[in-house]
Structure 1
Amino acid sequence: MVWGGDINPEERVVSVMVGRFSLVAGPASSELGLRIAEAMGLRALGLQHKTFPDGESYFRFLEKPDSTVVLVQGTHPPQDKHLLQLLLMSMGLRELGASRIVALVPYLAYARQDKAFLEGETVSLKVILHLMKSSGIDELVTVNPHAPWALRESGVVSHSISVAKTLASNVKRRGWHVSYVVSPGKKGMELAVEASLVLGAEPVKAESWRDPNTGEVRVEVEDGQRFSNKGVMVIDDVVSSGGTMSKLVKKLKSAKASRVYACCIHGLFIGGSDQRILEAGADAILATNTVPNKYAEVDISAEVADFLATLIS
């Protein structure tokens, strides 16, 4: 590991290099970046990062990157800060000679506003993708994005990885007996099917509606009697305020489900939403490590490393 100069260890952010490819792990995803680097057998090099008293971020690359760089930086809360850090690092890499920058953004912020639901709304996802392209990012790799169809319409070459099977495999290893996999939202059946194939369970799509003005969520699951005395895995792409998840858990418990496991790809858990989910009756909460949190016990680094190895080869 080469750091270059006298640098406070707290200011160190790790990047890695192998052959003609470099990997940089930004401050938002340093642990996941290191895991991916280890899975790819990469050699580490140094990046200095610090925050000034006024909150501004400083970056300095301590070695010249190779022509192709994978930049790992999530945009989970504080998303504005993490997004700006991504743009700063990308521009810095471009100025140092990187000709192909692949941004691995495990959790992509602003993806839920993929269209104007009300007249006059800004389509935030379109803005974010434009900023990424302007900062020098050539390709975007993200995990279970909220609106994968919207990514295909952007000017940035985009790739999405699904880790629903990885999450389900972890559930299986824990010995949690699951007869049904329930998932809400537009991609509900897709996630439920992926997870159920691993668990040998039946996939079920829950219908959900969110009021565009109030944000109030309604959920419905047909034929609730089938869940009686059965174990249920609820899987969603994102848990933020926990409104959808907690209401779904409550409905399943009201239907006499014996066990309800609240699982998600991206666990934001804003404002104590995890407690609301547990109070609704969830027997456990489980998330992947796309976003650092106390429930992020499912490591996705191996799947991401495999995908990157194929993409950048």
Structure 2
Amino acid sequence: MKKIFFALPGNEQLTRSLATKCDAEVGKAEIRLFPDQETYIKIESDVKDKQVMMVCTLNNPDSKLLPLYFLSKTVKDLGAGFTCLVAPYLSYMRQDKQFKPGEAVTSAYFAKLISSFADSLFTIDPHLHRRSSLAEIYTIPTTVLHASSLISGWIKKNVSKPLLVGPDSESTQWVAEVAANAGVPYIILEKIRAGDEDVKVSVPEVQKYADHIPVLVDDIISTARTMVATVAHLRTAGMNKPVCIGVHGIFSNDAYSLLLNSGAAKIVTCNSIPHKSNEINIDRILSLAINEQ
């Protein structure tokens, strides 16, 4: 089945890249808002019996969901044989349980909605915290790709004497994997609790790694508060300015400038969400996985 790629607004560059790598067509569609802010969709390409790849990274998801839904339903009405959502960043993963009475478990509801109009899903490093896989909530085939090897490659190429740093014990597995792939050492910051509200953070083996460049790695940089705090701990311990790396750079409000001004030497993200910090390209791993479908 021939593939045809459609870009939701803001995803044009990635869509062109994926289509080129997959030797596929870029579909033409008019997607805009009426004056009353309702969505208008018009498909201008032939989609009959084709595999429609809808490229839409899902940061700020609420404004993107209806155009995505309408696009999928329209191409199906026009005879598309299959629809696939390519969402490098997958939203609504954090609220995966009811923390307080009356709360909505939005990750499950969102998954059910996506599964109702897309036939498959490709994404990169979704925030699987209390879930073991997307299959727990998505009823369509899902392909989860990982950016750890890309991040390791970037570190080896761009950072002299890197030292990966995890802000807490929960980050150990992620940091250890990136460090192993890059062939570099790593440390995990230690929290010393003297009382309920008296918690100090120590940096282990400071002298051993005094001449290294600390590298902080996380899957999502949203408010950046965790990284800002970690940068402060490293600088207080007398270490070099760190490089901060995130798979998905959401950078809500003033998070980017806050992190940059906190003492970070550099901020780098994957291009799963378009941002000026993008230096790690996920196009190839996505296209390889799509071609295998």
Amino acid at match of 2:153: S
Q: Deviations over 1:99-155 (max 9, x none)?
A: 322211111111111222222211111111111122x21212111101162512022
- The whole-number CA distance in structure 2 between the counterparts of 1:119 and 1:177 is 49
Alignment partner, residue 167 of structure 1: 151
Q: For residue 196 of structure 1, what is the aligned residue in structure 2? A: 179
Q: Does 1:71 align with 2:86?
A: no
Task: Give the structure 1 partner of residue 291 of structure 2.
Answer: 309
Distance 1:70 1:243 in 2: 35
What is aligned with 2:253? 271
Q: Distance in 2 between matches of 1:261 and 1:20?
A: 42
CA deviations on 1:182-233 (whole Å, 9 max, x unpaired) are 245787234323322343212345589xxxxxxxxx9956625254332111
CA displacement 1:168-193 (0-9 Å, x = unmatched): 3223322x124322245787234323
Structure 2-normalised TM-score? 0.87
Structure 2: tracts of 5 or more residues without a match: 192-198
- Aligned twin of 2:194: none
Q: Does 1:44 align with 2:17?
A: no
TM-aligned CA distance change 1:240 to 1:202, over 3 Å: same
Residue 222 of structure 2 is aligned to residue 233 of structure 1: no
Q: Is the 8 A contact 2:88 2:124 kept in 1?
A: yes
SS in 2 for 1:88: helix
SS at match of 1:59: strand
Among candidates 144, 150, 154, match of residue 125 of structure 2: 144
- Encode CA deviations 1:60-98: one digit per residue, 9 max, x unaligned: 111232342221111112x20112222221222222222
Partner residue in 2 for 1:15: none
Regions of 4+ moved over 4 Å = 184-187, 205-208, 218-222
Task: Give the secondary-structure state (helix, strand or coil) at the position aligned to 1:251.
Answer: helix
1:180 alignment partner in structure 2: 163
What's the TM-score once normalised by structure 1's chain length? 0.82
Contact map agreement 2:190 2:204 (CA 8 A) in 1? no
Q: Deviations over 1:231-289 (max 9, x none)?
A: 11111111111111111121122222223101001111111111211222110000111
> Are 1:232 and 1:259, in contact at CA under 8 Å, matched by a contact in 2?
yes
Report the equivalent of 1:6: none
Residue equivalent to 1:215: none
Q: Structure 1 residues 51, 123: CA separation in 2 closer, same or farther (over 3 Å shift)?
A: same
Change (3 A) 1:61 1:309: same
Q: Is the 8 A contact 1:184 1:236 kept in 2?
A: no
Identify unmatched segments of 5+ residues in structure 1.
Answer: 1-18, 209-217
Indicate yes or no: 2:278 matched with 1:296.
Answer: yes
Aligned residue identity for 1:70? M
